């Protein structure tokens, strides 16, 4: 599934949930925390489309915060959105965390996609 098909028809809540979900996924694991740079390639780049819930759970809080901001900007930029609804974001965060806890091998973007699709089904 392409990013553009995920973005199509998504409300501001859904876009903002991406950032918040990544931010809070860091609370999932109980293993020792590692620097986000551990997941970078030889040139220092991190392929954010490949990061898993488990990897984020093992990063430091400030790294998860940084990634949350990055994901939010990425998705909101694709959707040409620039606003946030805090209560809706908090609910989206909770849903992504629950999904990530049960699916630590999933990529973060898959967890986000799952939650977004679930929300779209509720509105039908």
Domain boundaries, the chain: 3-123
Q: Per-residue pLDDT tens for 41-64?
A: 999 999 999 999 988 778 777 777
Look up residue 49 and give its two tokens.
């489309």
Distance CA 112, CA 124 (A): 19
Distance CA 106, CA 85 (A): 26
Q: Per-residue pLDDT tens for 68-81?
A: 667 777 777 888 98
Report field, pTM of the whole predicted structure over 0.75:
no
Quickly count: other Cβ atoms within 10 Å of residue 48's Cβ.
15
Whether 84 and 11 have beta carbons less than 8 Å apart is answered as no
């Amino acid at each position: 599934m392409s990013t553009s098909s995920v973005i199509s028809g998504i409300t501001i809540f859904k876009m903002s949930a991406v950032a918040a979900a990544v931010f809070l996924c860091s609370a999932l694991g109980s293993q020792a925390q590692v620097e986000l740079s551990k997941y970078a390639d030889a040139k220092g780049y991190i392929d954010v489309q490949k990061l898993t819930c488990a990897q984020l759970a093992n990063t430091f809080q400030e790294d998860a915060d940084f990634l949350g901001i990055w994901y939010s900007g990425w998705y909101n930029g694709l959707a040409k959105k620039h606003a946030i609804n805090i209560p809706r974001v908090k609910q989206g965060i909770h849903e992504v965390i629950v999904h990530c806890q049960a699916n630590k091998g999933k990529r973060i973007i898959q967890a986000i996609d799952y939650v977004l699709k679930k929300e779209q089904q509720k509105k039908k």
